[in-house]
């Protein structure tokens, strides 16, 4: 039964990954056949000494911080609020989850209109709130990443929200009743009963969110192309630029592999930390 799956896994995942690992030691080129010449650790040395590599990695991390925190906290708050409705819960579930169904190209186009200079909604809102010269949301290096992060939060919050809502519904009513009988107020119940019981959901949500945010590409590629002044260029876009625009496949392979290891390490460390606190709890 495993054979068909194993075959595709080997051909489309393990195979390319091995090729990536090998190509990282060659000066493989997109415009030439074969692997090219062996360059040893040259690609790694070059990546480590290239400023753009580090800034793009930093942009990926910064984007992860900007999105993961609200995407977890806000999703939890929305789920807690929605859970209080006994009727019409389906409406909120649908409303918060709906944006998640949209393809990245659609939300990019929508937010490019919203964030547009002169004609965009975001600038006119800022003006009505009293800002005389609203920032160029996607055109100002200081604001572009924040704007993209805000769009991403709106777009993907539904997924975490649904997981939290499902976990909330798993908590038996008696636990709430027992806590209430013991004299715990609503806030205490959330703080000391509900949130600890959501531990496993939180682990799942944060790990998935970390991985998803660290490999951000689509919406940035479409909304700013990494600009202005490369202020929003994430690591994957750097891989794309060096690999496809410049045709330096060997070097791009090296960077992808480093990114792969970074994402793996961050996820593992985070996972281990959560596990330990859970056990201590």
Residues that bind other proteins (CB under 8 A): 27, 29-33, 112, 116-119, 136, 138-141, 223-230, 240-241, 244-249
Residues 6 or more apart from 9 whose CB is under 8 A from it? none
Taking the least distance from each CB to other proteins, the nearer of 70 and 228 is: 228
Tokens standing for residue 4: 């068909």
For 87, how many CA atoms within 13 A lie in the half-sphere containing its CB?
Answer: 0
Beta bridge partners of 38: 26
Least separation in angstroms between residue 267's CB and other proteins is 30
Q: How far is the CB of 211 from other proteins (least distance, A)?
A: 26
| Cβ neighbours of 254 (radius 10 Å) | 29
Closest approach of Cβ 111 to other proteins, in Å?
A: 13
Closer CB to other proteins, 124 or 245, in the complex: 245
Nearest to other proteins of 176, 230 (CB atom): 230
Nearer to other proteins (CB atom), residue 26 or residue 96: 26
Q: C-beta of 59: minimal distance to other proteins in Å?
A: 14
Least distance in Å: CB of 145 to other proteins? 14
Q: Is 118 exposed, middle or buried, given 0-12, 13-18 or 19+ CB atoms closer than 10 A?
A: exposed
Q: Give the DSSP letter string of 118-180.
A: TT-HHHHHHHHTT-SS---TTTSTTTHHHHHHHHHHHHHHHHHHHHHHHHHHHS-HHHHHHHH
- Which residues does residue 26 pair with via DSSP β-bridges, in sequence order? 38
Least separation, in Å, of the C-beta of 57 and other proteins? 17
Nearer to other proteins, 53 or 159 (CB): 53
146-172 in b/e form (b: 16+ CB < 10 A) is: bbbbbbbbbbbbbbbbbbbbebbeeee
> Which residue number, 148 or 194, has a Cβ lying nearer to other proteins?
148
């Amino acid at each position: 039964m495993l054979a068909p799956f194993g075959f595709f896994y080997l051909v489309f995942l393990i195979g390319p990954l091995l090729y990536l690992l090998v190509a990282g030691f060659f000066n493989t080129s997109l415009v030439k056949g074969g692997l090219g010449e062996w360059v040893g650790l040259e690609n790694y040395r070059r990546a480590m000494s290239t400023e753009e590599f580090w800034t793009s990695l930093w942009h990926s991390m910064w984007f992860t911080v900007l999105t993961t925190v609200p995407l977890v906290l806000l999703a939890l708050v929305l789920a807690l609020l929605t859970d209080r409705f006994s009727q019409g819960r389906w409406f909120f579930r649908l409303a918060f989850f709906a944006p998640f169904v949209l393809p990245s190209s659609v939300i990019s186009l929508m937010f490019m209109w919203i964030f547009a200079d002169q004609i965009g909604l975001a600038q006119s809102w800022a003006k009505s709130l009293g800002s005389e010269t609203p920032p160029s949301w996607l055109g100002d290096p200081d604001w572009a990443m924040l704007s993209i992060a805000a769009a991403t939060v709106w777009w993907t919050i539904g997924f975490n929200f649904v997981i939290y809502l499902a976990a909330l519904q798993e908590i038996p009513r008696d636990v709430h009743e027992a806590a209430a009988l013991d004299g715990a107020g609503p806030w205490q119940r959330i703080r000391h009963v509900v949130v600890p019981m959501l531990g496993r959901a939180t682990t799942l949500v944060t790990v998935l969110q970390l991985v998803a945010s660290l490999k951000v590409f689509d919406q940035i590629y479409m909304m700013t192309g990494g600009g202005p002044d490369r202020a929003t260029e994430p690591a994957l876009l750097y891989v794309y630029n060096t690999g496809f625009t410049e045709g330096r496949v060997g070097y791009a392979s090296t960077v992808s592999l480093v990114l792969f290891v970074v994402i793996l390490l961050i996820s593992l460390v985070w996972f281990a930390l959560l596990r330990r606190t859970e056990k201590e709890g």
